[in-house]
Amino acid sequence: MLNTEPNLAAPDDFYEELIGLHRDLSDEQSALVNAKLILLLANHIGDPGVLRQALAAARQDVVGLDPATPLPETR
Amino acid sequence: MKTYTQPVYPYTKPTDAGLPQHWPVIVVGAGPVGLTAAIDLASRGLDVLVLDEDDTVSVGSRAICWSKRSLEILDRLGCAERLVKKGVCWNVGRVFFHAEQVYQFDLSPEAGHRRPAFINLQQYYVEQFLVERAGEMPGVDLRWRHRVVGVTPERERVMLTVSTPDGEYAVGADWLIVADGSKSAIGGMLGISSEGQVFRDRFLIADIHMSSAFPAERWFWFDPPFHRHQSALLHRQADDVWRVDFQLGWDADPEEEKKPERILPRLRAMLGDEARFEIEWASVYTFQCRRLRSFRRGRVLFAGDAAHLVSPFGARGANSGIQDADNLAWKLELVVSGQAPERLLDSYDSERTAAADENIRHSTRSTDFITPKSAASRTFRDAVLMLAKRHAFARRLVNSGRLSVPATLCSSPLNTPDTAPFASPMVPGSPAADAPVTGGSGDWLLDYLGQGFTLLLFLAGVPKEGLLRELAALAADPIACASLLVGAVGADLPSGVCALAAESGLLAQRYDARPGTAYLFRPDQHVCARWRDFELTQTRAAIARATGQYMH
């Protein structure tokens, strides 16, 4: 099950590092760095069910949601 | 071409031929698939007429990678040895991104297999060897420059109108095998169209003759310095001929790109200024991933490219077509001889469409990696390649073609499901894994499989009288089943039963066998049932199932 409860010990620190990762990069370079990051994290997670939920959650609200994938939701 | 002279096969006038007006089976198309089917049918005792509109073999190398399974099938038909001797054996593939190698794979099979993972050999050689093998078979009548111009399916037969330089004639068959290639003329005449996807990309393919120190390996480049933003492939064939393949993009002009003045600078950039080479053949191609909805329409059976198309990356075209022929021939023999119901041929459709779907899925995935269809897709592709250099996990994502492995027909209606656990991947539907053996007819298990149904029985000690009586009865059934006894000692074996020794232990290991274990193989060397104990009734039931007696 994809964990969408708070799990980052220092969320502001992480966010700053994530934005810092893209400093001085062109849009194209940023896209490449993001793609590498996704692939590294996906391999670390490994569990296909969790990955499928993360893929669906990422697409949610951008376009319609695939109703086949139940998502955890924080209330 | 400098390295190969196209044979020109003699044309026989229809009036001189004294052709019978009716055949059990007619094959249209004398390519690798049609010829394999014809040789297989003739080896099973059927008379086959093969019609081809041309009078020579393939122009250009076309299919070059022949898989282990194809070689095993051609071994059964008595012609793989020539291919292996003439071909180039290779195991290593390298993938480059920009100027650097990011990934390397080795396809060397484990020890104890007769055939390598792949050999490379130009399609024209394979066709020539198959034509010559067909010429040795009294049952095959191969007619060059006999073009089918009309086809009329009837209830009890299929009628063909055949055009020759001396006019037209009519001929009929119980069954028609359509192996006339990707632009199947027969499919067109019958109004059958395939469904699938066309890829918006063009590739330049060329055979070059070159003495070179490049190793016999498959080299694949993504975005190399010598061909920016596109892919390229270099692969060795027989006679110092090399296959090169350049991705060109959808907007390339095929006629322009085929001109030597366009090709030579690309090759110079790839091979270096010192390389000495000549272009033997060049072509520009696009490709599709598609298949017919059904490979059987009544008495018409489609095989090879006429039935399904994939991209060339993965060597899944000709190899899967040869497996089509392998799957079809024994079923047709049983149906023609009245030993199996016609619906057995529906299993050809279900088994081989499932195999085609597997090939199409792999091929489509490779194509999406090689030819990304969106900016995001290209970004991920480049990210994978960049990561692959440093991180093992990403190497598994690199896809320059997932090379052909034989289909496991695991959902086939002909399989008898397992009733006991086995720690072996030889599930019902699997093509038999080879292993070294000692016996009267060869040094490999596969030498003993494929004439008809075969039972492989592992024993310890002297076989009981009652067992030998039952095996003799199996061998005398209308659909005969021969038996191979492994580990049996000291008995007079009845006809249809032979003893094998398998001292290396690899056979028992690959089949997770212990005394009592029995495997039943179909005539195409696929497992259709396995048990921990032999029992005559269930063996006969499995043979009945595998020959379509229980199909609806």
- The residues facing B169 across adjacent strands are B162
pTM of the predicted structure, to 2 decimals: 0.94
pLDDT at A73 over 80: no
- What confidence tier does B277 reach under pLDDT thresholds 50, 70, 90? very high
Chain B residues at the A interface, defined by Cβ less than 8 Å, are 375-376, 379-380, 382-384, 386-387, 391, 393-394, 397
Write the residue in B375, B376, B383 that is nearest to A36 by C-beta: B383
The pLDDT, as a whole number, for residue B38 is 98
Q: How far does A55 lie from chain B, in Å, by closest CA?
A: 15
For residue A46, give the chain B residue with the closest CA.
Answer: B393
pLDDT at A72 over 80: no
For residue A36, give the chain B residue with the closest CA.
Answer: B383
Q: Inter-chain contact A39–B379, Cβ cutoff 8 Å?
A: no
Q: Inter-chain contact A39–B397, Cβ cutoff 8 Å?
A: yes
pLDDT at A74 over 90: no
Q: Where are the alpha helices (DSSP H) in A7-47?
A: 11-20, 27-45
pLDDT at B16 over 90: no
Neighbours of B483 (CB within 10 A): 27
The pLDDT, as a whole number, for residue B17 is 59
Q: Inter-chain contact B387–A36, Cβ cutoff 8 Å?
A: yes
pLDDT at A75 over 60: no
* Average predicted confidence (pLDDT) for chain B: 94
Which residues of B are less than 8 Å from A32 in CB distance? 379, 382-383, 386
Q: In whole angstroms, give the CA distance from residue B91 to residue B116.
A: 8
The pLDDT, as a whole number, for residue B505 is 93
Contact B75, B66 (CB under 8 A): no
Q: What is the DSSP letter of B315?
A: S
For residue B393, give the chain A residue with the closest CA.
Answer: A43
- Residue among A21, A34, A36 with most chain B CBs within 10 A, to mutate: A36
The more confident residue out of B106 and B344 is B344
Contacts A–B by Cβ distance under 8 A: 29
Write the residue in A32, A34, A39 that is nearest to B394 by C-beta: A39
Q: Inter-chain contact A35–B382, Cβ cutoff 8 Å?
A: yes
For A15-54, the pLDDT digits (tens) are 999 999 999 999 999 999 999 999 999 999 999 999 999 9
User: Read out DSSP for B367-429?
Assistant: HHHHS-SSHHHHHHHHHHHHHHTT-HHHHTT--S-----PPP-TT-TTPPPPSS--SSS--TT
The pLDDT, as a whole number, for residue B18 is 65
Which residues of A are less than 8 Å from B387 in CB distance? 36, 39-40
Q: Inter-chain contact B379–A32, Cβ cutoff 8 Å?
A: yes
Domains contained in chain B, CATH given? 14-88+120-192+292-357 (3.50.50.60), 445-546 (3.40.30.120)
Instruction: Provide the token pair at B64.
Output: 């070059």
For residue B394, give the chain A residue with the closest CA.
Answer: A39
For B93-114, the pLDDT digits (tens) are 999 999 999 999 998 878 899 9
Instruction: Provide the token pair at A27.
Output: 């849009």
Q: How far does A35 lie from chain B, in Å, by closest CA?
A: 6
Contact B38, B142 (CB under 8 A): yes
The pLDDT, as a whole number, for residue B473 is 97
pLDDT at B262 over 80: yes
For B387-428, the pLDDT digits (tens) are 999 999 999 999 999 998 899 999 999 999 999 999 999 999
